[in-house]
A and B are shown apart, each in its own frame.
Chain A
Amino acid sequence: MGEKNRVKADEDYQLVCLCQKGDIDAFEALVEKHQKKMLNIAYRMIGNYEEACEAVQDAFLSAYRAIRKFRGESRFSTWLYSIMINLSKNRLKKVKARFHREGLSIDDPGEDGSRRFRGDPPAHGLSVVEQLEKREIQTRVQECINILGEEYREVLVLRDVQGFSYEEIRAILKIPDGTVKSRLFRARDALKECLKKALGDL
């Protein structure tokens, strides 16, 4: 019952219907609307801006190919983010494999990190030093996320970075609530330990 209302409340429903009828402009509207969230999920999942952009393109393309199969069992955004998570994981594997071939480890924080990871945009209203400091911290946080195994990474990204509800995460990842929670807590614990090492004092 609650699910039905939620599907009805899906603001993308109209646009999705138009897309299913072959309206490309409607799909463009959906891309415009969701690309930022998609990119942020991908970026936090992969830890590389360029790779994330590629992953977002792939995700929207596969969403377009599959949009006729979307039956509205969940919200469109949930469906879309689910695709994004899966493609991010795929790309992550590719990236890792590439780094392995090149004798580098993407999971190795610190070493040459500034070159590998594009810095986060500066936060406004802070001094240059503060901005640099914040940027450095954010880079470290991202590096620590990168260490996490992908099943921990995805719950952490969705819950703590993107702020999805447990219910949404369950729907996106299609795993039971208990699993989401246990993974999340382990992810946080691991992240805390990593950050303690990386930043010294928290």
Chain B
Amino acid sequence: MECKGIREKLCAYLEGVVSPEENRLIEEHLNSCQECGNNLADLKKAGELVKDLAEVEPPAWLTQKIMSRVRAEEEKKRGIFQKLFYPLRIKVPIEALATVLIAVTAVYVFRAVEPEMKLAHLPAPTKPVITKEETAKPPQEIPKDSPSSRKKAAFKDHTERDSAKVSSVPPGSEEKPIKKEDKSALPSPAEKPLTAEKKETATEILGKGESIAVPGAAKETGNGKKLAAAPMVKESAVVKPGPVDLTVRVKDVRIAGREVENFLGQLGARKIKRESSEEKEVLTAELKAMQVKEFLEKLKAIGEIKEKGMPLDISEGDIAIRVEIVSIP
């Protein structure tokens, strides 16, 4: 009974982890009990045998084996990674090439389709686009027309000469360069053998311009500059509603100019241009036809209006408006 209790404590005793009281009891018992003494000796011996167990050496290949497995695992991980990103090496050049190819194709297709697109745009123009083109064209067209008309004069065709006269009448300031052009154009042999066809088309254009220009010019505003502007407006009139040319007489030209500009802005006019000179202000703009009336009323509030080329019956599209503000003499 006592021996069993002691045996259970012998290990702890060997380790020296028993209380001093227990230690004393065990040692007393060991002195008297042979069996327990043997037991302790066996325990010591067993402990020694276990401690004596030789260490085994790892095989030489162990590290390599472990590392090859680790690297294989790393490869596998990278394999998944590579599946996602490795193709980048090939992908990037391919993508770059594809992008270039698409860009080139796009340009090519655009070029191929471009004439068709122009055709598609022409019949269905938004009106502002036309006015834009029209107002931009006249300065170029006039010199074109004029030389041809001069050539006609050189051919001494009576009917054509008449139209040439008309065309050469309006642009006072522009006549000089035109004449210069004519002079240089006349002696050139290439110009001389102009076909009758060309002449005819030229007269046609002139004729159109003439028919509208005449009423404008006939009104006799007596202002050179206004005349010069007249053909510009005339040209646009060929296709779209007639222009509005207004003269407003006011006390203070500057204030009135600013006011008119504000009116135009309020009414949503586009392409508002304001030119100031000493005794007058000239404003040009494009205004919605339906707003012309309102605009006129506002102008009336400022001063005395003279108007011409007034297509008040038009309710659609934009109308080119030119307002000249002069002071009351």
Q: Which residues of A contact B (CB under 8 A)?
A: 24, 27-28, 31-32, 35-36, 39-40, 43-44, 49, 52-53, 56-57, 60-61, 64-65, 120-121, 123, 137-138, 141-142, 145, 156, 160-161, 163, 181, 184-185, 188-189, 191-192, 195-196, 202
Q: Which residues of B contact A (CB under 8 A)?
A: 7-8, 11-12, 15, 17, 39, 41-43, 45-47, 49-59, 62-63, 65-67, 69-71, 73-74
A161 to B74, CA, bound (A): 35
Residue from B8, B62, B66 having most chain A Cβ neighbours under 10 A: B66
A202 to B42, CA, bound (A): 6
Instruction: Pick 12 A–B contacts, CB within 8 A, sort by A.
Output: A24-B67, A27-B67, A36-B55, A43-B56, A60-B66, A120-B54, A121-B54, A138-B53, A160-B47, A160-B50, A188-B43, A189-B11
Task: Tell me if B49 and A28 are in contact (CB < 8 A).
Answer: no
| Contact A202 B45, CB 8 Å, known A35-B58, A36-B57, A161-B51 | yes
Contact partners of B63 in chain A: CB under 8 A: 28, 31-32, 35
Contact partners of A52 in chain B: CB under 8 A: 56
A202 to B45, CA, bound (A): 7
Contact partners of A57 in chain B: CB under 8 A: 62, 65-66, 69
Task: Tell me if A39 and B69 are in contact (CB < 8 A).
Answer: no
* CB closest chain-A residue, reference B66: A60
A61 to B21, CA, bound (A): 50
Task: Tell me if A160 and B11 are in contact (CB < 8 A).
Answer: no
| Contact A64 B73, CB 8 Å, known A53-B58, A202-B42 | yes
Contact partners of A138 in chain B: CB under 8 A: 52-54
A121 to B56, CA, bound (A): 7
Task: Tell me if B11 and A184 are in contact (CB < 8 A).
Answer: yes
A35 to B58, CA, bound (A): 7
Task: Tell me if B56 and A49 are in contact (CB < 8 A).
Answer: yes
- Beyond A56-B66, A57-B62, A188-B47, 11 additional contacts (C-beta under 8 Å) are A32-B63, A53-B59, A56-B58, A57-B65, A160-B51, A161-B53, A181-B12, A185-B12, A202-B42, A202-B45, A202-B49
Contact partners of B53 in chain A: CB under 8 A: 44, 120, 138, 141-142, 161
A188 to B56, CA, bound (A): 22
B3 to chain A, nearest CB (A): 13
Contact partners of A24 in chain B: CB under 8 A: 67, 70-71, 74
B324 to chain A, nearest CB (A): 82
B76 to chain A, nearest CB (A): 11
| Contact A202 B46, CB 8 Å, known A64-B70, A120-B54 | yes
Task: Tell me if A31 and B55 are in contact (CB < 8 A).
Answer: no
Task: Tell me if B54 and A189 are in contact (CB < 8 A).
Answer: no
Contact partners of B52 in chain A: CB under 8 A: 138
A28 to B62, CA, bound (A): 11
Contact partners of B47 in chain A: CB under 8 A: 160, 188
B143 to chain A, nearest CB (A): 78
Task: Tell me if B56 and A40 are in contact (CB < 8 A).
Answer: yes
* CB closest chain-A residue, reference B55: A40
Task: Tell me if B43 and A189 are in contact (CB < 8 A).
Answer: yes
Contact partners of A27 in chain B: CB under 8 A: 67, 70
B257 to chain A, nearest CB (A): 76
| Contact A39 B56, CB 8 Å, known A64-B70, A64-B73 | yes
Contact partners of B59 in chain A: CB under 8 A: 53
Contact partners of A60 in chain B: CB under 8 A: 66, 69-70
A137 to B71, CA, bound (A): 40
Contact partners of A49 in chain B: CB under 8 A: 56
A181 to B18, CA, bound (A): 11
Contact partners of B12 in chain A: CB under 8 A: 181, 185
Contact partners of A56 in chain B: CB under 8 A: 58, 62, 66
A56 to chain B, nearest CB (A): 7
B11 to chain A, nearest CB (A): 3
A120 to B49, CA, bound (A): 13
A191 to B53, CA, bound (A): 14
